[in-house]
Amino acid sequence: MEFNEVIGKRQTIRDFENKAIPASVVEHAIENAFKAPTYNHLREWDFILISSLEAKLKLIESEHLEKPIDINELEKLFRNEETIMKEMYLDAIPKQKKMILDAPQVIVVVYKPKTSIEKALRIYDLNCLASVWTCIENFLLSLAEHDIFGVTFIPQNTASLKEKFGIPPQLEIAAVIPIGYRVQDAKKLKQKAINIVDRIHTDKW
């Protein structure tokens, strides 16, 4: 597939079809993920592939996603936000549990931090996080080539998740990514229109 076509296709999907993903496609996407740039040349990344209901429930429990969401409360919370952002959150928040349950596979992306997050003082200390996100984008683009999409869920209770999944204490979780084929009527959210010319500055701002 054309490079531009893949870039154009990549999108966040939270509504998944009940259809298995070929293991070879996921393995190839991980191989492509490892072609991303790394700050220290070590590519200290690992991927946990989750498909069992038991493991998904561990994720849901750890992130306290069991409780139903009150949409009126959400509306209130985001009432002063930009419409485009509000629409995204109102669609996304109620789907956090379902997207994990429905996705045929959920990928936990693990990386080795340079400095613990609590001690990070400079942008430089976050190079490890910047690197793992370039790796995540390669992964998502590689899947998009096969019409498989994902949603990058950022866990809040990483200590509990690490314990439940046996992740070594010196490593961290960058994202939990439910992946799968999109249902036919999957919600397509409006993107903020960007005038590229306004965002390009020459020699100075």
Ligand X SMILES: Cc1cc2nc3c(=O)[nH]c(=O)nc-3n(C[C@H](O)[C@H](O)[C@H](O)COP(=O)(O)O)c2cc1C
Closest residue to ligand X, judged by C-beta, is 12
* 134 near ligand X, judged by CB under 6 A: no
| Candidate list 6, 25, 77, 92; residue touching ligand X; CB under 6 A | 92
For the CB of residue 154, give the shortest distance to ligand X in the complex, in Å.
4
Nearer to ligand X, 21 or 103 (CB): 103
* 103 near ligand X, judged by CB under 6 A: no
Contact window for ligand X (CB under 6 A) among 9-17, 33-41, 44-52, 123-131: 9-17
For the CB of residue 38, give the shortest distance to ligand X in the complex, in Å.
18
Q: Which two tokens stand for residue 122?
A: 């400079």
DSSP 191: P
Number of residues that bind ligand X (CB under 6 A): 9
* 154 near ligand X, judged by CB under 6 A: yes
Q: Which two tokens stand for residue 129?
A: 């996080």
Contact window for ligand X (CB under 6 A) among 20-28, 48-56, 147-155, 158-166: 147-155
From the number of C-beta atoms within 10 Å of its C-beta (0-12, 13-18, 19+), residue 152 rates as: middle
Contact window for ligand X (CB under 6 A) among 11-19, 32-40, 51-59, 73-81: 11-19
The contacts of residue 127 (CB under 8 Å, 6+ apart) are 39, 40, 114
Angle at 44 between CA 139 and CA 178, to 5 degrees: 35
The contacts of residue 10 (CB under 8 Å, 6+ apart) are 140, 141, 144, 149
For the CB of residue 41, give the shortest distance to ligand X in the complex, in Å.
24
* 153 near ligand X, judged by CB under 6 A: yes
The continuous run of DSSP H or E covering 160 comes out as helix 158-164
* 148 near ligand X, judged by CB under 6 A: no
C-beta separation of 182 from 13 below 8 A: yes
* 88 near ligand X, judged by CB under 6 A: yes
C-beta separation of 182 from 15 below 8 A: yes
Site residues (vs ligand X, CB under 6 A): 11-12, 14, 88, 92, 151-154
